[in-house]
Amino acid sequence: MTNRDEYSPLVDITETSKAPLDKNGLAWICFLILGVGLLFPFNCYVAASDYFSDLYGDSYSFLMSLAYNYIQWLLLFVSIFVMPRFSFKSRTILFLLAGSLILFYMPFNNMIFGRNEKVSMGISLLCTFASGCLASLLFGTVLGLVALFPGEYTGAVMSGNGVAGMIAMALQIITKVSVPATAHGNQESGLIFFFLAGGVLIICLLCFLVLLQLPITKYYLANFEASKLKENGSVNGIESGDGDAKPKKSARQWMGELLNILKKVWREALVVFTVFFTTLSIFPGLTQLIQTSNEHQLSSDWFIIVFFSIFMVGDFIGRTVPKWFIIFTPSNLWIPTFLRLAFFPLFALCIKPLVFNNNAWYFVFMFIFSISNGYCGTLAMIFGPTKAEEHEKEYAGIIMSFFLNFGIWVSTHFAFLLSYLVTGSTGINF
């Protein structure tokens, strides 16, 4: 039986007045599309793994994941102190525009520097690194914004994260089918793929501008500013970006406040860290080493596309289900989270020693793995900010984002150790 008191703030977040209706669910849809923008660049790099493997070899997938995620946690830590001084509008527009420009550039990188593979790969990894930095700051910004809304909107952002993977894989399948599999065709398909990917981020930007004009958005921003005014005696300038209106605090005061919020959300922070540490330690690096058990039924190229597509679909389902169906509470969400650690030996036994030698096993493991990732991660991100006071919600959202990305950062290092333990190689070969 679910304890309603543990997540009742998901429904009633204001005691002063009634929030405007979200007509036709437009705000929810905008947040869903914003959620697409948060993880879409990374999913594009994962979906285009065969494109990069043709250019730079199989080891690129490990390096790509490392470059994309390496300092995201550090940027989010810094953003706790810096980002709230700037408006949500200016931050989001800047990060989405810059992210789209990087995606537009990626296929031209090999055209320009293709004669020197190491230079081309280095610049590609540098672009991936910049893309990860932008995504990290965007993640903290959007999670800080959506934390001001009822929990179902955080669920919308997390669902959008799942949609991002599905869109990326759909674009990859479309371009792969429509362009002949030749050296020139791979270059052309890459150009089409990344051009469409950059366009998706532009659509996310347009939806954000629509979101800002909605009455429900203006209500929750005003409600947040009012709570800051009540707490500190001044407005934080979230909409205007006027950070000077707020009295300066010492570093000790800042840390004291953050630690106080962390004490409230530590359990959800631990859950989200564990969820994404487990997932990104295994996917995409280790799972890419799994080979199809029947080449006649499914070629190696198409096996990876189908295999990764199952992850994207399952992850989306897991992220979306909490909108209608919650079976865990903040007090017991840790149980399925730590049970997911069993996927380490399960996927290892799909590679070496090869115990599960059948595509059916691979697909079943991947589907459960992905759906549990989306479900547990989304519930943690929903529950976390509801533990904080109204004026603390933006910081609670950023703290949750920090632990999510810190889990990813740790996993990028652990993935090398995991690859070595399973195969005897770190997965990097030059």
The CA distance from 422 to 427, in Å, is: 10
- 64 has pLDDT over 90: no
The CA distance from 76 to 142, in Å, is: 12
Predicted confidence (pLDDT) per residue in 211-267, tens digit: 999 999 999 988 877 876 776 654 444 444 444 444 556 667 767 888 898 899 999
Query: Which tokens hold the place of 74?
Result: 């550090």
Predicted confidence (pLDDT) per residue in 232-242, tens digit: 654 444 444 44
State the CB neighbour count (10 A cutoff) for residue 55. 19
From residue 328, alpha-carbon distances to 255, 320, 332, 339, 382 in Å are 31, 15, 6, 14, 12
Indicate the residue type of 27: A
Count the residues in the chain.
430
Query: Which tokens hold the place of 409?
Result: 């950062």
Decide if 91 contacts 189 (C-beta within 8 A): no
Least confident of 9-18, 20-29, 163-172: 9-18
Query: Which tokens hold the place of 305?
Result: 């596309």
The CA distance from 164 to 209, in Å, is: 19
Fold (topology level) of 22-240+247-423: Growth Hormone; Chain: A; (1.20.1250)
User: Which pTM was predicted?
Assistant: 0.74
Predicted confidence (pLDDT) per residue in 80-131, tens digit: 777 777 888 999 999 999 999 999 999 899 888 878 888 999 999 999 999 9
First and final C-alpha spacing in the chain:
55
Decide if 187 contacts 107 (C-beta within 8 A): yes
The CA distance from 281 to 416, in Å, is: 8
Percent share of the chain, pLDDT over 70: 87
Average pLDDT over residues 161-185: 77
SS3 325: coil
pLDDT of residue 249: 62
